[in-house]
């Protein structure tokens, strides 16, 4: 799946596939869906948790953008306009993009096969 995400005044092309999971692990030495679960469990009221959530979100966007950019993670972070963190619409756009891109990996219930009599 591919899409373009606009953050501030820049467009980021994103691509998700099964390789995204492997690439995330290779780059960050941690599991993508484990990190997503940490975000879901965190309390955004705590400053430490907020920092973890932000870091994980940017890691995910970085890996989704990697097929189109050969920047290092540090260069990627330096290219971002961090004023977007205080813009509710930008944050909503960012989280929606991640949900859309990674939603293709979630297990879907398999339909029950009719039993033969």
- Does any domain span residue 23? yes
What is the structure's pLDDT at 108? 39
The answer to whether the beta carbons of residues 5 and 97 sit under 8 Å apart is: yes
- Does any domain span residue 95? yes
- Does any domain span residue 108? no
* Closest residue by Cα to residue 33 from 2, 65, 59, 66: 59
Q: pLDDT tens digits, residue range 2-45?
A: 999 988 888 999 999 999 999 999 999 999 999 888 877 775 56
- Does any domain span residue 110? no
Q: pLDDT tens digits, residue range 68-106?
A: 999 999 999 998 887 877 888 888 888 888 888 888 444
- Does any domain span residue 78? yes
In this prediction the pTM is 0.78
Sequence-distant (6+) residues with CB within 8 A of 59 are 24, 27, 28, 35, 73
CA–CA separation, 65 and 69 (whole Å): 6
- Does any domain span residue 117? no
- Does any domain span residue 36? yes
Domain total in the chain: 1
Q: How many residues does the chain have?
A: 117
- Range(s) of the domain holding residue 83: 2-103
- Does any domain span residue 116? no
């Amino acid at each position: 799946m591919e899409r373009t995400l606009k953050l501030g005044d820049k467009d980021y092309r994103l691509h998700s596939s099964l390789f995204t999971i492997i690439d995330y692990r290779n780059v960050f030495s941690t599991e993508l869906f484990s990190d997503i679960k940490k975000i879901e469990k965190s309390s955004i009221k705590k400053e430490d948790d907020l920092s973890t959530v932000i870091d994980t979100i940017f890691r995910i966007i970085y890996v989704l953008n990697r097929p189109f950019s050969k920047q290092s993670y540090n260069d990627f972070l330096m290219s971002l306009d961090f004023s977007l963190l205080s813009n509710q619409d930008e944050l909503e756009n960012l989280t929606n993009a991640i949900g859309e891109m990674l939603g293709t990996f979630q297990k879907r219930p398999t339909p029950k096969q009719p039993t033969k009599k």
